[in-house]
Each structure stands twice: as C-alpha cells, then as structure tokens.
Amino acid sequence: MNKSESKYFNTATKMDLALISLLKKKPFEYITVSEICETAGVNRSTFYLHYETIGDLLNETTRYLLDSFLSYFSNDTQSVALNLKDCELNELMFICDKYLTPYLTYIKDYKEVFTVALAQNKILGFEDVYKRMFENIFNPILERFHYPSDIRQYVMMYYLNGINAIIVEWLKNGCDKSTDEISKIIAVCIYGKDNANG
C-alpha cells in the first residue's frame, strides 16, 4: 500500500469510527454528513470523495466491522466454513473454545462497537448477515447432524438468541467476567452442567 492509499484508508477508517460513535448517541436517520465530518475531523469534500451518501458509509462500516471480526479467527478456523460438507463432524461443533474465544475476545475488545451493533443491528444490516450465515454455514451444519429441514431455522434461532442473551447481559455488566468464564457459561447452557467440557 502506497502513502496515498494508506491516507485514503485511514480517512475511511476515521469516518467508520465516527459513524459508530454517532450511532451510540442517536438513530441512523438523524445523523448528518456534517456530524460525521466533525466527529472524524475531516472536511465535507473529503466525505464526498469517499462516499455519495451516508448509506454508502454505513455499508462500508458494516464491512469494516465484519472484517475486523473475522480477523480474530485463525485461517484454520475460517477454513472450516469453506469445507462444511467434507470436514469431520466434531469440527462443526462451534460451541467450543476454538470458536468462542475469538468471538468473545472481539466483543470484549470492541464492547462499545458491539453494543451499538446489537442496538442497531437492523441499520447495520446484521440481520442479512445472520440470514446469509444461516443459509451458507448453519443450515449445512444442521443438515450434517440430520436435523429435519423444517425445524433447522428454529434450532438455529434458539442457539443464536440464547448466546446473544448471554452476550447482552455480559455487555450490560461491562464485560466484568473473563472470556473463559463466559465461554463456560455458554457451554453449560448448551450442553448442561455435567457435559459442558465436551
């Protein structure tokens, strides 16, 4: 990356973070270009050099959050998603430290961002992300475990909403517990107290 590309990227990142900061304070539809520019410390002309609308910035911010999230997972972990039909069944058990630790570490490192993401998930498009994840990852996994197709969406919502409820409670408490403790709580809820280690 040359110097001008680096400057362009850094400016875009400033605007991503400015939008996230503003979403903590008010709904998306009330955020203005002027507020974004003031928060990011850039001129309006710089904003329009990067984006046509605030919606374009929102799309980029969502990609920024997802890229940041995925960077917490090892390449080995990411490759499982690409080989769902061929990998061993035990590799598809996502409620384990291999997957929970990077997920929980990301949440703890970016708790302010994640709080905004949970509160504004419709605006940030995370419902679409969950839908794509269901279609491309969770549905094939549930198929491998022989769940009937007519109940897979319900099973997945049970797991996602249960885990999200634990995360929301953890965030409300300022991430007071370690990622290991939260991982164990999730495992106990999924597998039961006596089977949480495996």
On the 0-12 / 13-18 / 19+ scale of CB atoms within 10 A, 23 is buried
* Cα–Cα dist 69/181, whole Å: 20
CB 196 within 8 A of CB 176: no
Highest mean pLDDT among 18-22, 55-59, 105-109, 176-180: 176-180
For the chain, give every domain's residue range. 1-53, 72-195
Question: In degrees rounded to 5, what are phi and psi of residue 148?
Answer: -60, 140
Check residue 149 and give its pLDDT.
93
Tens-digit pLDDT profile for residues 131-188 = 777 777 788 888 888 999 999 989 988 888 899 899 999 999 999 999 999 999 999 9
Average pLDDT in the chain: 83
Q: Give the whole-number percent of the chain exceeding pLDDT 70.
A: 87
The single-letter code of the amino acid at 166 is I
CB 106 within 8 A of CB 117: no
Check residue 190 and give its pLDDT.
87
Check residue 23 and give its pLDDT.
86
Check residue 118 and give its pLDDT.
73
For CA atoms 145, 146, 150, 154, the dihedral sign is: negative
Fold observed for domain 1-53 = Arc Repressor Mutant, subunit A (1.10.10)
Query: Given pLDDT bands bounded at 50, 70 and 90, which one contains residue 82?
Result: low
Q: Which residue has the higher pLDDT, 32 or 80?
A: 32
CB 139 within 8 A of CB 48: no
CA-based nearest residue to 113, from 28, 47, 22: 22
User: Within 13 Å of residue 68, how many CA atoms lie on the same side as its CB?
Assistant: 16
Query: Given pLDDT bands bounded at 50, 70 and 90, which one contains residue 111?
Result: confident
Token pair 């094939």 in the structure block, residue: 140
Q: Which residues contact residue 178 at a Cβ distance below 8 angstroms, ignoring those fewer than 6 apart?
A: none
CB 97 within 8 A of CB 77: no
CB 126 within 8 A of CB 117: yes
pTM for this one? 0.73
Check residue 80 and give its pLDDT.
62
Q: Which residue has the higher pLDDT, 119 or 46?
A: 46
Question: 107 pLDDT exceeds 60?
Answer: yes
Reduced to 3 states, what is the DSSP secondary structure of residue 69?
A: helix
Query: Given pLDDT bands bounded at 50, 70 and 90, which one contains residue 100?
Result: confident
